[in-house]
Amino acid sequence: MVQALVLEKKGELSLRDIDLPLEVGPDDVKIAIDTVGVCGSDVHYYTHGAIGSFVVREPMVLGHEAAGTITAVGVHVKNLKVGDRVCMEPGVPNMNSRATKLGIYNVDPDVRFWATPPIHGVLTPEVVHPAAFTYKLPDNVSFAEGAMVEPFAVGLQAATRARITPGDVGLVIGCGPIGIMTALAALAGGCARVYISDLSAPKLAIAGQYAGIHPVNITERKLADVIAAETEGWGADVVFEASGSPRAYDGIFDLVRPGGTLVLIGMPVEPTKFDVAAAIIKEARIETVFRYANNFDRAVNLIASGKVDLKPLISETFDFAQSIEAFDRAAKGLPDDVKLQIKLRG
């Protein structure tokens, strides 16, 4: 039995002992977990008991944004050794699947993803994970930053799918954690500047700390007017929708330049309409983003290079014993909170 933060059912968390498999297979590593980020999806399972067709039917350990230290390696493992500091990619596909062979393992229907029912997450002191989905952290990347690699990888997936050309003007709709990660990834990917829009002034102030990110408060100014004014009426080269709000789609192609790109990241809860004719008239390219593939190592590289500093986004760190408190705080959705983390080791 090991201790873990368990979502018993919708609205009920407990920090208790649970049986989890800790056998190290030939291609696996065992990791002593140091830091775990609290993600919107973890919180959503807590508050709603489900995300789409994924329903919590039995107790499930939460947490999927994690970093720690290798404590054991399987006999076939060559890339990692005991004592290495690492972060882990939470989704493990079927290595023999058609999607995996195509390099798009994130959309493998058989993917097993931490803290997505019925797969347990990693808010527990030790986990076993395939070495192929475990990434070494350079000495200058902290565990706290290592636990930010997962959400940053979503931003990098968006920037990659956008096929940014150096000098592009970007716009991110939605200033939540993923919106800010996307803006940072778009800058790292070559955007000259990135606008980011939201209704929340505190969130925009956090994003606006970064050089190259320009906040737009849509309670004060119409987004289409701002983008038109800033681009001589041409539009943004790449628009990233990271709010998940159906309202974001009203007039969204007014923001995209002719021949520009719209990247869909935020997942609306309900089927959502958009103006097909407006997209066609501009011959806009539409891309979608589901998690990430082959972006964890790139995320680590960018953090280690100093080009991307995610530390200002860590709002507060809780001890493992305060995990439930951390989730209750995250569930409040305070506008000044970007990322809350839980530290399992002192």
Nearer to Zn ion, 73 or 300 (CB): 300
When asked if residue 127 is in the footprint of Zn ion (CB under 5 A), the reply is: no
Q: Are 65 and 115 in contact (CB under 8 A)?
A: no
Nearer to Zn ion, 88 or 191 (CB): 88
Residues binding Zn ion: what is the number (CB under 5 A)?
A: 1
Q: 């989730």: which residue's tokens?
A: 327
Nearer to Zn ion, 39 or 344 (CB): 39
To Zn ion, the closest distance from the beta carbon of 39 in angstroms equals 3
d(CA 260, CA 253): 9
Nearer to Zn ion, 39 or 252 (CB): 39
To Zn ion, the closest distance from the beta carbon of 211 in angstroms equals 26
To Zn ion, the closest distance from the beta carbon of 146 in angstroms equals 14
To Zn ion, the closest distance from the beta carbon of 275 in angstroms equals 31
Q: Are 213 and 194 in contact (CB under 8 A)?
A: yes
To Zn ion, the closest distance from the beta carbon of 11 in angstroms equals 20
Nearer to Zn ion, 39 or 263 (CB): 39
With vertex at residue 178, the alpha carbon angle to CA 266 and CA 326, rounded to the nearest 5 degrees, is 115
SS (H, E, C) 103-169: CCHHHCCCCEECCECCECCCCCCEEEEEHHHEEECCCCCCHHHHCCHHHHHHHHHHHHHHCCCCCCE
Nearer to Zn ion, 188 or 340 (CB): 340
Q: 């990692």: which residue's tokens?
A: 80
To Zn ion, the closest distance from the beta carbon of 227 in angstroms equals 29
Q: Are 92 and 99 in contact (CB under 8 A)?
A: no
Q: Residue of minimal CB distance from Zn ion?
A: 39
List of residues 6+ apart from 222 with CB closer than 8 A? none
Nearer to Zn ion, 38 or 239 (CB): 38
- Of residues 129 through 188, those in contact with Zn ion by CB under 5 A are none
DSSP 19: -
Q: 């959309």: which residue's tokens?
A: 107
To Zn ion, the closest distance from the beta carbon of 150 in angstroms equals 5
Q: Residue length, the chain? A: 346
Region of residue 58 (left: phi > 0; alpha: psi -120 to 50; beta: else): beta
With vertex at residue 295, the alpha carbon angle to CA 255 and CA 142, rounded to the nearest 5 degrees, is 110
To Zn ion, the closest distance from the beta carbon of 338 in angstroms equals 13
Nearer to Zn ion, 249 or 292 (CB): 292
Nearer to Zn ion, 48 or 163 (CB): 48
- Of residues 321 through 340, those in contact with Zn ion by CB under 5 A are none
222-to-35, 148, 240 alpha-carbon distances in Å: 40, 32, 17
- Of residues 33 through 92, those in contact with Zn ion by CB under 5 A are 39
To Zn ion, the closest distance from the beta carbon of 41 in angstroms equals 6
CA dihedral 288, 291, 297, 301 (to 10 degrees): 70
- List residues binding Zn ion (CB under 5 A): 39
